[in-house]
Homo-oligomer: A and B are copies of this chain.
């Protein structure tokens, strides 16, 4: 009874997250266990998301994956770790006596297609959204309903934080096997809906070092990083959680900036030094400080620079002045800058230094798309032609 249709097809979306207490450095490279806990804001999928379709069929002869329309090597270790882990969880679930909705499915091969609705060049931690989406979609396909932190984490550490909406903590854990290194929600997106996030996409001036190699070098050479992870981050996690619970934007913005700066400081203390901050990024930070100083309080916070690209995210308590020409995402009302404010900022515009701005907000976690039209794979299990 050969079938042309895959037995199961599931399509899900997952969000990007931006850390406000940064993750930098692994204590276990294989299991991707961090040297400190971290905390992030999940960004809304109306603006930024990964969409992933997974299909299993007895007709598939091998696991295959397509990213943004291009077939990729399914044998890469992190992808394999995710697949192995999700199948392990599915087996475990079955052996625990749960009714199996998908008999035989574990022996079937999987086809995966994944797309980002934002340019990877924006440097927006696409791997976090990507691996969260992969973990979430595979879980639906294989009928797994347990915690997916490990599946996502094995793909990309911070991916486990994209498994939840709102404000998400990734507890570093203590166990050598990583079973307690899991993500959980600190507060849902509905807790602080007025928070706005502006992503300033700056021109890439040069290719920075990738995060995997970067953090490994930092862990090996930076005494400041070790001290930060052990002695400073625990108190910052507690303080950031308080800021979120109490919606204390002043303290939230300041701590976000401080933690971003400290992360970049440990990169600079790495040997050879790593720099993810361009002159444009530094000017943005300075502008935010002058903007806040002019207003006498923290109305905006800058938390810049996930590696893997150059970008900045500004958390705004109010609306930041900006030209509508570059604006994507949520509507932002342009305002006229007062001469006073212009004088306080004391910066000449540098045309072209910011490519565009995405205005967004806190958003929900991964979603299952019920519309079959959303599937990225056709009935033959291959990517649909681009519309």
Interface residue ranges, A against B (CB under 8 Å): 205, 223-224, 227-228, 231-232, 254, 257-258, 261-262, 264-266, 268-273, 275, 278-279, 282, 285-286, 289
Q: Is the CB of B282 within 8 A of A275?
A: yes
Please give the count of copies of this chain that the complex contains: 2
Q: Would you list the 5 A-B pairs with minimal beta carbon distance, nearest first?
A: A265-B265, A265-B269, A265-B268, A272-B289, A261-B273
Bound-state Cα–Cα, A223 to B261, Å: 12
Q: List 12 A-B contacts (CB under 8 A).
A: A205-B279, A223-B231, A224-B265, A224-B266, A224-B269, A261-B268, A261-B273, A262-B269, A264-B268, A265-B266, A265-B268, A272-B289
Nearest CB in chain B: distance from A62 CB, A = 39
Contact status of A262 and B224, CB under 8 A, knowing A257-B271, A272-B289, A279-B279: yes
Bound-state Cα–Cα, A228 to B261, Å: 16
Residues of B within 8 A of A273 (CB): 257, 261, 285
Residues of B within 8 A of A275 (CB): 282
Nearest B residue to A283 by beta-carbon distance?
Answer: B206
Q: Is the CB of B285 within 8 A of A271?
A: no
Q: Is the CB of A269 within 8 A of B279?
A: no
Nearest B residue to A264 by beta-carbon distance?
Answer: B268
Q: Is the CB of B279 within 8 A of A258?
A: no
Residues of B within 8 A of A282 (CB): 275
Residues of B within 8 A of A231 (CB): 223, 227
Nearest CB in chain B: distance from A27 CB, A = 20
Residues of B within 8 A of A257 (CB): 271, 273
Nearest B residue to A269 by beta-carbon distance?
Answer: B265
Sample of 14 further A-B pairs with CB below 8 A, known A264-B268, A265-B269: A223-B231, A224-B224, A224-B228, A224-B269, A227-B231, A258-B269, A258-B271, A265-B265, A265-B266, A272-B285, A272-B286, A273-B285, A275-B282, A278-B279
Counting chain B CB atoms within 10 Å of each CB, the highest count among A228, A258, A261 belongs to A261
Nearest CB in chain B: distance from A272 CB, A = 5
Bound-state Cα–Cα, A209 to B223, Å: 26
Bound-state Cα–Cα, A205 to B1, Å: 73
Bound-state Cα–Cα, A289 to B258, Å: 29
Bound-state Cα–Cα, A224 to B223, Å: 10
Residues of B within 8 A of A279 (CB): 205, 278-279
Residues of B within 8 A of A278 (CB): 279
